[in-house]
Structure 1
Amino acid sequence: MSRHVLYSFRRCPYAMRARMALGYSGVPLSIVEVSLKAKPAEMLAASPKGTVPVLVCADGRVIEQSLEIMQWALAQHDPDHWLQADHMGLIEANDSVFKVLLDRYKYAIRYPEQPMEHYRARGVEYLQGLEQRLERHPFLAGEALSLADVALAPFVRQFAHVDREWFAQAPLPHLNAWLERFLASELFASVMAKSPSPQPSPIRLKQPGP
Structure 2
Amino acid sequence: MRADFAQLPVLYSFRRCPYAMRARLALRSAGITVELREVVLKDKAPEFLAASPSATVPCLVLPGAPAIDESLDIMVWSLRQSDPEDLLDPPIGTLDDMLDLIAELDGPFKRSLDRYKYETRFSDADPVEERNKAGRFLEKLDALLKGRPWLFGDRPSLADLASLPFVRQFANVDREWFDGQDWPDLIGWLDRFLESRRFSAIMTRYPKWKAGDPTTLFAA
Provide TM-score, normalisation by structure 1.
0.90
Aligned to 1:120, the other structure's residue is in SS state: helix
Structure 1 counterpart of 2:212 = none
Match of 1:75 among 80, 85, 89: 80
Instruction: Indicate yes or no: 2:23 matched with 1:18.
Output: yes
Q: CA deviation at 1:114?
A: 4.6
Structure 1 counterpart of 2:51 = 46
Deviation per residue, 1:66-116 (Å, 9 max, x gap)? 001001111111111000123111111111111001001101233343532
**Deviating more after overlay: 115-124 vs 99-108:** 115-124
Match of 1:162 among 169, 173, 187: 173
After the TM superposition, which residues 168-179 of structure 1 pair with which residues of structure 2 at under 5 Å, given as runs? 168-179=179-190
Q: CA deviation at 1:141?
A: 1.4
Structure 2 counterpart of 1:120 = 131
Q: CA deviation at 1:168?
A: 1.0
Give the ranges of 4+ consecutive aligned residues of structure 1 lying more than 6 Å apart after TM superposition: none
Instruction: Indicate yes or no: 2:155 matched with 1:144.
Output: yes
Instruction: Indicate yes or no: 2:199 matched with 1:194.
Output: no
Match of 1:33 among 29, 38, 50: 38
2-structure distance, mates of 1:153, 1:95? 12
Provide TM-score, normalisation by structure 2.
0.86
**Deviating more after overlay: 30-39 vs 106-115:** 106-115
Checking the alignment, whether the CA contact within 8 Å between 2:115 and 2:125 is kept in structure 1 is: no
Deviation per residue, 1:156-179 (Å, 9 max, x gap)? 000000001111111111100000
Checking the alignment, whether the CA contact within 8 Å between 2:53 and 2:69 is kept in structure 1 is: no
Instruction: Indicate yes or no: 2:63 matched with 1:58.
Output: yes
Percent of residue pairs identical: 46
Q: CA deviation at 1:38?
A: 1.7
Checking the alignment, whether the CA contact within 8 Å between 1:26 and 1:199 is kept in structure 2 is: no
Structure 2 counterpart of 1:130 = 141
2-structure distance, mates of 1:132, 1:48? 38
**Counterpart code for 1:5:** V
Aligned to 1:138, the other structure's residue is in SS state: coil
**Counterpart code for 1:146:** S
Q: CA deviation at 1:124?
A: 0.9
Checking the alignment, whether the CA contact within 8 Å between 1:19 and 1:191 is kept in structure 2 is: yes
Q: CA deviation at 1:199?
A: 3.6
Show structure 2 runs of 5+ residues with no match: 208-215
Q: Cα RMSD over matched residues? A: 1.6
Instruction: Indicate yes or no: 2:12 matched with 1:7.
Output: yes
Checking the alignment, whether the CA contact within 8 Å between 1:108 and 1:119 is kept in structure 2 is: no
Checking the alignment, whether the CA contact within 8 Å between 2:13 and 2:37 is kept in structure 1 is: yes
